[in-house]
Amino acid sequence: MNAPNKSGWKPAMNADGESIGGPATHTGNRALMLEEELIFEIGGTDTTGVDLPQPDAFAQRRTGGLERTAEIGLPGLSEPETVRHYTRLSRQNYAIDLGLFPLGSCTMKHNPRLNEKVARMPGFADLHPMAPSTTTQGALAVIHELGEWLKTLTGMPAVAMSPKAGAHGELCGILAIRAALEARGDARKVVLCPESAHGTNPATAAFAGYEVEDIPATPEGRVDLAALEARLGPDVAAVMITNPNTCGLFERDFRKIADAVHAAGGLVYCDGANFNAIVGRVRPGDLGVDAMHINLHKTFSTPHGGGGPGSGPVVFSEALAPFAPLPFVEKTDDGFVLVEEETAGDRHASSFGRMTAFHGQMGMFTRALTYILSHGADGLKQVSEDAVLNANYVLRKLEDVLHAPFADSGPCMHEALFGDKGFAEGLSTLDLAKGLIDEGYHPMTMYFPLVVHGAMLVEPTETESKAALDQFIGAMRSVAERAIAGDETLKTAPHYAPRRRLDETLAARKPVLAWTEPAAE
């Protein structure tokens, strides 16, 4: 038996179980990557990395009798141990600063450092939500100017800046649609969602109390217009449609769809998660959209996180503008005002209410506006053009080795879609993804959209160079060829990552979410 000693060192053994000397074989360390234990395992709960004075009697009285009566149980480490622990963990992660991120604008695209510098400026980074508006005029001006840009780029007359993310924005739009329908005494009960829409769309509609019905896609991956028109009726409140859709295609019949929905008395919600592909090229307002959320992190480079909540502003048509949520920023002769309450008889009286207590996304707002002002209108047009060009380059370079189900439907938008057709029996998209980790890349979006078996959705974004794309394409081609040839080693990949393949079913059903101290021997 090849058993480790207490230090974790395991000697090399021959077939007869005899030690043959040589280096340790299974410490877990790899090259310059040291194996890292949990912080509870490397730090003792009875020590601390700093010396703190004992609290005086006054400090003890301030706790009001709520001081703890037992050890807190947190590990104590020295400063070098703490720094090394988190630095080692960071080296086991993948980041946009290391290489191309195949999930692209959906999850991770390059955020210019200029944006970060502006987001950290005093007056933006240190704002308190309860500060009087007279002391936050600069911040309110940023929110207002960003909103004006979003209205201009979408061709829509109104915008709500308070939603905290894309799904939150979807809910905002659907609640405005419900308020508008109820205001005219026509509370309908069904929302139509095409198969090629984002998965959050039906979830949002159901959460808002609507029944959800699917609309099929055509063989070329777009909404079946005839099927949609056949289902429209007096019970249909809205259609929620993603454009460009999750098959990576622009919905050419969008204007016809919007006209048909409006003629039937419904409203049109557009999922704007893929606005990155059309910003500066197409204004959704011209297509008949009534409400659309914009993911700032996808189109205007703000990161996920970044020191506060995310941001999913929603733009509205004239039909829905009166029902938009509070609060919002309004420009007056005396400066900027944060409108927080409805006033009977004025134009805000129909608002469906508040989505959130405060605008907490100043970091998102400042980054997005910096990005927009850095590019200008012409630059934003180039952003979408470059994103689409890069995706089509990836599609055409891989379509001979990976199944591209909609390659004949015309150019894709900012994402290239592949399927697992042609893989050897027993190998799947998951195996390719794990093999891609061994090639040095984070996997792409997998198994979505559902209309493609074993889907692989690649979003290179506009910020990647041809050299970076070629390097990624080479890695994808290598793993795809192994999947087609039936390389069984893919089933156990990754082999070179800090961790091997997990039992994902067990991890989902019986996750270990907390550390417990092992029982004493």
For residues 424-451, average pLDDT: 94
What pLDDT does 24 receive? Answer: 47
Residue that has been written with the tokens 């592949």 in this structure: 418
Beta bridge partners of 160: 314
What pLDDT does 305 receive? Answer: 63
What element of type H or E holds 174? Answer: helix 166-183
More confident residue, 58 or 355: 355
pTM: 0.88
What pLDDT band is residue 179 in, cutting at 50, 70 and 90?
very high
Q: Is 359 helix (H, G, I), strand (E, B) or coil?
A: coil
What pLDDT band is residue 20 in, cutting at 50, 70 and 90?
very low
For residues 396-400, average pLDDT: 97
What pLDDT does 499 receive? Answer: 82
Q: Is 215 helix (H, G, I), strand (E, B) or coil?
A: strand
- Residues of each domain in the chain carrying CATH 3.40.640.10: 137-326+360-370
CA distance 157 to 138: 23
What element of type H or E holds 117? Answer: helix 113-119
Tell me: pLDDT of 391 over 80.
yes
Which of 105, 121, 170 shows the shortest CA–CA distance to 362?
121
Extract the tokens encoding 440: 């040095």
Chain center to CA of 336: 31
Cβ atoms 497, 505 nearer than 8 A: no
- Residues of each domain in the chain carrying CATH 3.90.1150.10: 381-508
pLDDT in tens, 112-139: 999 999 999 988 888 888 899 899 999 9
Q: Is 306 left (phi over 0), alpha (psi -120 to 50) or beta?
A: left
Tell me: pLDDT of 6 over 50.
no
What pLDDT band is residue 359 in, cutting at 50, 70 and 90?
confident
What pLDDT does 516 receive? Answer: 84
Tell me: pLDDT of 16 over 70.
no
Q: Is 464 helix (H, G, I), strand (E, B) or coil?
A: coil
The answer to whether domain 137-326+360-370 has CATH 3.40.50.620 is: no
Tell me: pLDDT of 440 over 70.
yes
Q: Which CATH class for the 381-508 domain?
A: alpha beta
Chain center to CA of 121: 25
Residue that has been written with the tokens 């915008």 in this structure: 159
175-179, 312-316, 507-511: segment of lowest average pLDDT: 507-511
pLDDT in tens, 182-198: 999 998 999 999 988 88
CB atoms within 10 A of CB 485: 12
What pLDDT does 46 receive? Answer: 80
Q: Is 336 helix (H, G, I), strand (E, B) or coil?
A: strand
Cβ atoms 132, 119 nearer than 8 A: no
Tell me: pLDDT of 50 over 90.
no
Cβ-Cβ contacts under 8 Å for 368 (sequence gap 6 or more): 146, 296, 300, 301, 302, 311
